[in-house]
Amino acid sequence: MFENQPKALYALALANTGERFGYYTMIAVFALFLRANFGLEPGTAGLIYSIFLGLVYFLPLIGGIMADKFGYGKMVTIGILVMFAGYLFLSVPLGGGTVAFIAMLAALFLISFGTGLFKGNLQVMVGNLYDTPELADKRDSAFSIFYMAINIGALFAPTAAVRIKEWAENSLGYAGNDAYHFSFAVACISLIVSMAIYYAFRSTFKHVEGGEPKKDKSQKVAVEELTPQQTRERIVALCLVFAVVIFFWMAFHQNGLTLTYFADEFVNPTSSGIQSMAFDVVNLVMIVFMVYSLMAFFQGKTPKAKSISAVVFLFALGILVYKYNNISGTVSVSAPIFQQFNPFYVVALTPISMAIFSSLAAKGKEPSAPRKIAYGMIVAGSAYFLMVMASQGLLTPVGQKMAKAAGETVPYASANWLIGTYLILTFGELLLSPMGISFVSKVAPPKYKGAMMGGWFVATAIGNLLVSVGGYLWGGLSLTVVWSVFIVLCLLSAAFMFLMMKRLEKVA
């Protein structure tokens, strides 16, 4: 996966890691901040949260159109600067009044617009690295590396958000609401690091920034010619996929809304024993080292490579054993910390997933991209079935709040339920998200590649707008009803995919 990749890939991936670390640090606590600082109801907070997510994924379409005219690199640079201004506004504690609320909305617009300029165009630059024949077969593994880099940033973000907020409260004496702003300030710092990486290694990828004079004809790539009917069939197939993934992202991005509400209100606020190790990001990193070193050991081509892999594996295992033997007491479990599990699973499971599908491909049994997407929807639905099981015997959100206010003893769910839910959701994500992007890039008619990739982002944006449905369900309804809504939507979407499978596989 890592062999013979251009240095530019790692430079762009690391630049993206810094930006994503700041974004996910902010997202980890944002819904809780809205409720705590402005006293918003769950539905209202969810609406603001989902509109923001929607803009983050819709505006790359505008950013792409601008990049076609002015160049990808220029839009990436402007995007980082605009995002920095937005995070800076969000970092200033202005209280909970009207001025603070308006400043917060302005900050969200700047962040989403800056992300629109940055997000899609950086991915286009990564893809452009592989337009040459000698690198074309490395494109899929390159995007896997790039996707992992995103999740490495996301892995550390929840821990950073929680720890920095606690530091501001305990060491600096800030009130809880004001302490949230210190978590937002982390994004400003991470963007500075991102920009430093981008410009330090710019010479390695400057040729794919765009906005330069047209290349000579010898560099021109052959374009596939399609009949009008073939073009129409491909666009229809892509639109069918877009319609389905809307509901995946609606369900998946409950991780920042109803799943965070559940963690905040219904999960035992303390953890002990081996379970407590899951909330230390160092332990998760050691598990990642063990997975990658094990894969490297079995795939190593020289005794030296195998030896290094074995040493890394034993080192990581030794740290975990040491930390296990020194467990004492309990640790506090903060709701945002659960958001570290999805990126952890993505980073840890991606090489295993690629190995499985490579093995199936070698045997001629690998499912098509549309089938993987349909399976991903079923897997996502099963994640919320686990949440139904976790919610048995629990009160409604309103009932839980009233019981706590009255000083009554309330039932709590084990943190293991949420940890397991994030694992299953990640399986669904690995089946759907990379496969969906691959399907779009493969099937889109050459003349409409930009518009079709924009369509993928727009579908994601619509799904993020619908995330707010979870916020409005959160209140007097049974938790079983809340989770069942997402189960039904995911399973109906999967059924629709299977009904359309022949048409989708025809163009794949």
- Is residue 297 a part of any domain in this protein? no
Q: Residue 82: what pLDDT?
A: 94
Same domain, 409 and 480: yes
Same domain, 204 and 234: no
Measured distance between the N- and C-terminal CA atoms of the chain, rounded to whole angstroms: 24
Same domain, 62 and 205: yes
Q: Would you call 327 exposed, middle or buried from its count of C-beta atoms within 10 A (0-12, 13-18, 19+)?
A: middle
- Is residue 221 a part of any domain in this protein? no
Structure-block tokens of residue 380:
């996502």
Q: What is the DSSP code string of 271-331?
A: EEHHHHGGG-HHHHHHHHHHHHHHHHHHH-SSHHHHHHHHHHHHHHHHHHHHHHHT--SEE
Residue with tokens 């099963």: 382
Among 178, 209, 240, the domain boundary falls at: 209
SS3 413: strand
Same domain, 336 and 420: yes
- CATH number reported for the structural domain that contains residue 145 in this entry: 1.20.1250.20
- Is residue 485 a part of any domain in this protein? yes
Same domain, 141 and 30: yes
- Is residue 250 a part of any domain in this protein? yes
SS3 396: coil
Determine which helix (DSSP H) or strand (DSSP E) holds 270, and give its type and residue range: strand 270-272
132 within 8 A of 142, measured Cβ to Cβ = no
Same domain, 407 and 258: yes
- Taken in order 145, 150, 156, 158, the sign of the CA dihedral is negative
282 within 8 A of 492, measured Cβ to Cβ = no
Q: How many Å apart are CA 310 and CA 287, to the nearest integer?
A: 14
Structure-block tokens of residue 458:
């727009």
Domain that holds residue 451: 228-268+332-507
Q: Mind listing the pLDDT tens digit of every residue in the chain (508 residues)?
A: 666 788 888 899 899 888 888 888 888 888 888 888 888 888 888 888 888 988 888 888 888 778 877 888 899 999 999 999 999 998 888 888 889 899 999 999 999 999 988 887 887 788 778 777 777 777 767 777 887 888 888 888 888 888 888 888 888 888 777 888 888 888 889 989 999 999 999 888 888 887 654 444 444 444 556 788 888 888 999 999 999 999 999 999 898 789 999 999 999 989 999 999 999 989 999 999 999 899 888 877 788 889 999 999 999 999 999 999 999 888 888 888 888 899 899 989 888 887 887 788 788 888 888 898 999 999 999 999 999 999 999 999 999 999 998 988 888 999 999 999 999 999 999 888 877 777 776 777 767 766 777 788 889 889 888 888 998 899 889 999 999 999 999 999 999 999 999 888 888 6
Among 179, 209, 239, the domain boundary falls at: 209
Same domain, 1 and 119: yes
Same domain, 437 and 398: yes
Q: Which residues contact 146 (CB under 8 A, 6 or more apart)?
A: 9, 12, 13, 16, 123, 126
Q: Residue 160: what pLDDT?
A: 85
Same domain, 139 and 243: no
Q: Which of 29, 27, 45, 332 minimizes the C-alpha distance to 180?
A: 29
- Is residue 303 a part of any domain in this protein? no
Same domain, 133 and 254: no
- Is residue 285 a part of any domain in this protein? no
- Is residue 15 a part of any domain in this protein? yes
Same domain, 90 and 194: yes
Phi, psi of 132 (to 5 degrees): -85, 150
Structure-block tokens of residue 1:
């996966």
Q: Residue 213: what pLDDT?
A: 47
Same domain, 241 and 180: no
Q: What is the DSSP code string of 437-484?
A: HHHHHHHS-GGGHHHHHHHHHHHHHHHHHTTHHHHHHTTTS-HHHHHH
- Is residue 153 a part of any domain in this protein? yes
Number of domains into which the chain is organized: 2
